[in-house]
């Protein structure tokens, strides 16, 4: 028994020792690859894709400064993050110290197969009731076609509701908001932070635009027709807990089968007008100094934005900026 226990302990020790040696060797490779890149240059690094992997180029001259032997590379935030082989790492923007993460396993969210209990209540003529402790609806009027989409705005609960194919925004008592009554065939909420909420709408007369919670309508019929949108992306790092939702700081990718553009939901105008040449699939940014601990749209002025262009082949993806400057490596 003692021999078996000793053998098990020895195996664990040898594995830990081997893993430590492997991590040290990976760290040395990363340190060597980034040795000639000064901290002041972190903000100029732009990831690029090839069939071999990802690398970094310098945005000033598009020259490759890190060869494409990596994956999961991000822009300066202001630390650099990425993956070499199966090892995730982070490079400190003040010291250039390389941190290696041993915990290289995936924690994937498990979907629930439990069905929602019937929350329709025939005794409620309009409106809905809220489980405040859990921020969810526990009953709603049977006059609504489906469960309302609940949201909280300035400490008050509202919901997007559907009735006979028409959508509206209502208070808990069922009262509709100004210019947000049952006149829309489509209604989608855009919450970009700092208490700025817009609803993208479409009417039965095919009018499209944005309306805010105060009923103000903007950019009427100046959008991409029947467009989809994205207001945030995702950076995959180590596991689901460590991965990051990349908010677009008030920008929205608007697109349909033919046109792509970037709309500014703060200034309510196009940053990149609808066009066919560039298929914009993601937005990212670099920053020199750490941002506010809490997400704040006022940080947007500190960011340099990049727009990922892709057409199905990830090895050919590349970034542009709002001036359509392409960041494609000169010497892969």
Per-residue pLDDT, 105:
44
Please give the radius of gyration of the chain, using alpha carbons only, rounded to the nearest integer.
Answer: 25
Query: Which residues lie across from 176 on neighbouring strands?
Result: 170
Question: In sequence order, what are the beta bridge partners of 235?
Answer: 244
Query: Which long-range CB contacts under 8 A does 115-124 form with residues at least 24 apart?
Result: 116/147, 119/147, 120/144
- Reference 72, options 58, 59, 57, 90; nearest CA is 90
pLDDT at 1 over 80: no
pLDDT at 331: 65
Q: What is the pLDDT, as a whole number, of residue 239? A: 62
- Residue 265 neighbours by CB under 8 Å, 6+ apart: 190, 192, 196, 198, 210, 231, 250, 251, 252
Q: How confident is the model at residue 106 (pLDDT cuts 50, 70, 90)?
A: very low
**Nearest to residue 71, comparing CAs of 95, 91, 89, 94?**
89
- If one counts every other C-beta atom within 10 angstroms of the C-beta of residue 272, the result is 21
Q: ∠175-180-186 over CA atoms, to 5°?
A: 120
Largest CA distance in the chain: 82
pLDDT higher for 47 or 314?
Answer: 47
Q: φ and ψ at 301, to 5 degrees?
A: -65, -15
pLDDT for res 235 = 76
Q: What integer pLDDT is reported at residue 319 of this predicted model?
A: 97
Please state, in angstroms and rounded to a whole number, the distance separating the CA atoms of residues 58 and 41. 8
Q: What are phi and psi of 112, to 5 degrees?
A: -100, 135
User: What digits encode the pLDDT tens for the residues 195-235?
Assistant: 999 999 999 999 999 999 999 999 999 999 999 999 988 77
Closest CA to 83 of 108, 53, 106: 53
- Mean model confidence pLDDT for the chain: 88
Answer yes or no: is pLDDT of 165 > 50. Answer: yes
Rounded to whole angstroms, how far apart are CA atoms 267 and 117?
42
**Helix or strand (DSSP H, E) at 193:** strand 184-193
pLDDT at position 109, please? 40
* Averaged pLDDT, 101-129: 62
In three state form, how does the secondary structure of 289-321 look?
CCCCCCCCHHHHHHCEEEEEECCCCHHHCEEEC
Taking the CB of residue 136, how many other CB atoms lie within 10 A of it? 12
Q: What is the pLDDT of residues 237-282, one digit of tens each?
A: 766 555 678 899 999 999 999 999 999 999 999 999 999 999 999 9
Looking at 3-17, 141-155, 220-234, 245-259, which range is the least confident one? 3-17
pLDDT above 90 covers a percentage of the chain that reads: 76
């Amino acid at each position: 028994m003692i021999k078996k226990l000793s053998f098990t302990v020895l195996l664990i020790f040898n594995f830990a020792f081997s893993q430590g040696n492997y991590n040290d060797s990976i760290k040395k490779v990363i340190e060597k690859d980034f040795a000639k890149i000064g901290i002041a240059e972190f903000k100029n690094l732009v990831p690029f894709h090839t069939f071999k992997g990802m690398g970094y180029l310098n945005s000033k001259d598009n020259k490759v400064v890190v060869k494409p032997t990596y994956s999961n590379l991000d822009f300066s935030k202001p630390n650099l993050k990425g993956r070499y082989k199966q090892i995730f790492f982070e490079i400190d923007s003040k010291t250039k110290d390389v941190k290696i993460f041993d915990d290289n396993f995936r924690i994937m969210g498990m979907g629930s197969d439990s069905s929602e209990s019937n929350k329709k209540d025939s005794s409620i003529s309009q409106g809905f009731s809220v489980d405040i402790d859990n921020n969810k609806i526990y009953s709603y009027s049977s006059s609504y076609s489906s469960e309302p989409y609940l949201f909280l705005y300035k400490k008050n609960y509202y919901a997007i509701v559907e009735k006979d194919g028409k959508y509206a925004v209502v208070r808990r008592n069922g009262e509709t908001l100004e210019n947000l009554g049952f006149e829309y065939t489509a209604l989608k909420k855009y919450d970009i932070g700092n208490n700025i909420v817009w609803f993208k709408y479409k009417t039965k007369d095919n009018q499209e635009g944005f309306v805010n919670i105060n009923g103000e309508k903007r950019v009427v019929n100046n959008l991409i027709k029947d467009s989809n949108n994205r207001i945030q992306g995702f950076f995959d790092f180590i596991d689901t807990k460590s991965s990051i939702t990349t908010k677009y700081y008030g920008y929205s990718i608007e697109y349909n089968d033919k046109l792509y553009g970037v709309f500014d939901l703060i200034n309510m105008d196009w940053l990149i007008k609808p066009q066919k040449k560039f298929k914009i699939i993601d937005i990212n940014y670099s920053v020199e100094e750490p941002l506010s601990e809490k997400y704040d749209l006022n940080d947007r002025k500190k960011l340099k934005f990049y727009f990922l262009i892709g057409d199905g082949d990830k090895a050919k993806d590349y970034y542009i900026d709002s001036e359509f400057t392409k960041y494609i490596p000169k010497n892969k």
